[in-house]
Amino acid sequence: MISQESIERVKAEASIVEVVSETVKLRRSGMYYSGLCPFHSERSPSFFVREQSNSYHCYGCGAYGNVISFVMASRAMTFPDAVELLAGRYGIELKRDGRKGLAPGVDREKLFNVCAVAQQFFRNSLMQVKKGAGEFAKVGEYLRKRGLTADAINSFGIGYAPNQRGALVDVLKKAGFDEETILLTGLVRRAAGGELYEFFRGRLIFPIFIDTKRIAGFGGRIVPGVNDPAFEEQAPKYLNSPETPIYQKNRTLYGLPQAMSAIREAGEVYVVEGYMDVVGLTMRGVKNVVACCGTAMTEQHLKRFSGLCNRVHLLFDGDTAGRGAAAKSFVTARNADVDVTACFLPDDVDPDDFAAQHGAETAQALKGLGKAELIDVYIDGLLTRAGCSLTEKPGANLLGKLSDEVAKALGGVEREVVRSTLTARAARRLGIETPQLERLVSKGATAGKQLVRAEPTASARPAEPAQSDEPTARKPRGVAELPRIDRDLLCSVMVLKGDVLPDLLKNPEMCEVLQPETVRFAMDLDRALAEHPDDEQGQRQAAKELLQTLGVDWTRLWKEAFKMVESGVTMRDVYQGSLLALRRQKLRGLLDECKEELISGDWDPQQQLEISDRIRILKNQIDGLGRGVDLHTSNS
């Protein structure tokens, strides 16, 4: 994992004024720089950047943090990704300590560099289309047929992988990359004879940016007529990069860097399936659109949206397959922090076709499609699978079976208000009394809680890591030395694990105010669990190994966390309470800073009034938190 020394160096050397200035027009204002907040709409500047402390704070929406958290919030990135981005920009070498993380010898920055060189190769290849010779003439014909404009090609960095074996391999080797590094990017494969060959050939290439500059993977669309007809008949239309150390499909969204500002402005996003769907809709004015990269929508995808908007619209084909896919989305979205709905296109029309048909009126046409609640689509899917018409009421036995299935799905909804609302809606759709379904849901939810509370027992909970006094490469601060708030939050993270880790590591404000050791543990545990996504035993072992490297007091805290569960403590409440306490603590620090500024400077009456107004706002925000008012902003 990235060493704490490297993280602190990034904080110290990355200029927040430079980084923020890329997004916000700043002007000097006393000890601060001020400008219009990038996280909410406003006419008068309430966003302040302090160069001395490398921090920012918006007195309008409440957003605050340092240079790392600003990158997290403005680009919807996780803490480690933001650190790596800033390190690359400022030429800071990231050191990694001995904790579990990337495989030894894996240099993420070098992998990004390989992708950058490959992207330039693809772009140069597409430029040859202008010559109109051989396969390039067919590429040009395809581009014209699909109506791809020069602006769209440049905005999305679209290129072309020529149908020439060894062409890209030669370019990458001449750039100085070794074979093992090239292989790690997924751009090439090794043949039986040992030589490397390209993964993408004869395809239009769509680079997958994870921020405005770095490319993590690629998608390729076969170009008709370039390859052998027999091959084209068997080959998949679209080909996606395999997962690599820098590219995870369940977290990556195609077109997100290009769409981010439009998503924030609209407060909503459309999610489609293909690269051309994104490009086609964007060319017709629908800029708040992204696509999943060769996988279905995941909870991690939805968590990326939580800091950008409040509404997510999944755009599906209107056929049986599209409605079936939409039905499966309910379980994925049931605990999301955003509202998720389904939109269905007319049969045999994909989003790119829809955009071509409606042109400049595409945005309005999309709104006219209507939005279907996922619980309704889910129940319709169950009815269809059971062979029922969507308009007929099932018989008693079938209705009982369907009710059990719906109740099971609703039992997994964590928030009580959401569960109650969805249960009432589902009961109406099934044609039964709400209390009947509530009893079924309650049974499922109670069973789930019993399973959670059984975790601390010897037979059911993750194996507790053995205590170890062996010396480690890096001895972190003991848990006893951390503030009480951090220890409480760590307990909740240890129990809830993957349910809160992605959210925490995407929360720029919390990553800024938490102690470094707390953030490091969250990063380490998230990485350890991610290496065994569908293997509970593997995750237990990974957590055990992690705690062994940290020391006895961290293992002791792990045990204390599960004792809290045994005693009936709701760890979700502990987690939320810790976040609230940390926010209150940060606001008090900002208040002290403003008071110090007021008495230490020679301000004119107008400047004194502005500082006093900021003090008043901070006091109101602190008082609001004390009354339990949720003032936490999602930076949307």
Return the pLDDT at 106.
65
Strands 289-292 and 215-222, how do they pair? unpaired
pLDDT value of residue 268: 93
Residue 626 lies in a domain: yes
- Sign of dihedral through CA atoms 469, 470, 471, 474? negative
Task: Indicate whether 243 belongs to any domain.
Answer: no
Task: Give the CA distances from residue 505 to residues 183, 254, 521, in Å, rounded to whole numbers and listed in that order.
Answer: 29, 21, 11
Is 520 within 8 Å of 8 (Cβ atoms)?
Answer: no
Q: Alpha-carbon torsion 395, 400, 404, 407, what sign?
A: positive
- Which CATH number goes with the domain that contains 33? 3.90.580.10
Within a domain: residue 472? no
CB of 290 closer than 8 Å to CB of 278: yes
For the chain, the first-to-last Cα distance in angstroms comes to: 30
Model pLDDT, residue 499:
83
The residue out of 206, 238, 270 marking a domain boundary is: 238
Q: What is the reported pLDDT for 437?
A: 93
State pLDDT tens for residues 174-194.
999 999 999 999 999 988 888
Question: In terms of Cα–Cα distance, which of 218, 252, 210, 216 is closest to 238?
Answer: 218
Low-confidence residues in the chain, pLDDT < 50: 99-102, 104, 446-476, 628-636
Rounded Cα distance between 414 and 403, Å, is 19
Within 51-130, where are the H helices?
67-75, 79-89, 108-127
Query: Are residues 226 and 317 located together in one domain of the fold?
Result: no
In this structure, are 287 and 421 located in the same domain? no
> What kind and span of H or E run contains 344?
strand 339-344
Domain total of the chain: 5
Q: Is residue 485 located within the same domain as residue 621?
A: yes
Domain contains 99 = no
Q: What is the pLDDT of residue 588?
A: 86
> Which residue, 453, 471, 493, sits at the end of a domain?
453
For residue 612, tell me if it sits in a domain.
yes
Residues 401 and 433 in one domain: yes
pLDDT at 445: 52
Is residue 102 included in any domain, yes or no? no
In a domain? residue 175: yes
Q: What is the CATH number of the domain that holds 190?
A: 3.90.980.10
Q: Do 220 and 285 fall into the same domain?
A: no
Residues 6+ apart with CB under 8 A from 551: 468, 469, 472, 475, 476, 478
* pLDDT tens string 360-402: 999 999 999 889 999 999 999 888 888 777 777 788 888 899 9
**Residues 411 and 494 both lie in one domain:** no
Say if residue 232 is in the same domain as residue 140. Answer: yes
> Angle at which helices 605-626 and 571-600 pack, to 10 degrees?
160
Q: What is the pLDDT of residue 586?
A: 84
Distance between CA atoms of 605 and 312, rounded to whole angstroms?
47
In a domain, 245, yes or no: no
Inter-residue contact 385 to 335 (CB < 8 Å): no
Q: What pLDDT does 534 receive?
A: 65
- What confidence score (pLDDT) does residue 105 get? 53
Range of the domain at 507: 479-636
Predicted pLDDT of residue 635 = 36
